[in-house]
A = this chain, B = another copy of it.
Amino acid sequence: MPVGLTSHEINRLDKLVATRIKIKQGEPLFSLGDEFTSLYAIRTGVFKTCLLTADGREQVTGFQLAGEIVGLDGIVNDRHNCNAIALEDADVCVMPFSKVEDFSREFPVLQHHMHKIMSREIVRENGVMMLLGNMRAEERLAAFLLNLSQRLHARGFSQTEVILRMTREEIGSYLGLKLETISRTFSKFNRDGIIEVKQRYVRIIDADALKKLYDAHSQACH
Contact = CB atoms under 8 A, between A and B. Distances in A.
Interface of A: 51, 53-55, 57, 59, 61, 72-77, 81-82, 101, 104-105, 108, 111-112, 114-116, 118-123, 125-126, 128-130, 132-134, 173-176, 215, 217-222
User: How many copies are assembled?
Assistant: 2
A11 to B, nearest CB: 21
A54 B218 contact: yes
Contacts of A132: 129, 132-133, 176
Contact of A55 (B114, B120, B222): B222
23 contacts: A51-B126, A55-B219, A55-B222, A59-B130, A73-B119, A73-B123, A73-B126, A75-B115, A76-B120, A76-B123, A77-B123, A81-B123, A101-B112, A101-B115, A105-B105, A105-B111, A115-B118, A122-B122, A125-B128, A125-B129, A129-B129, A132-B176, A133-B176
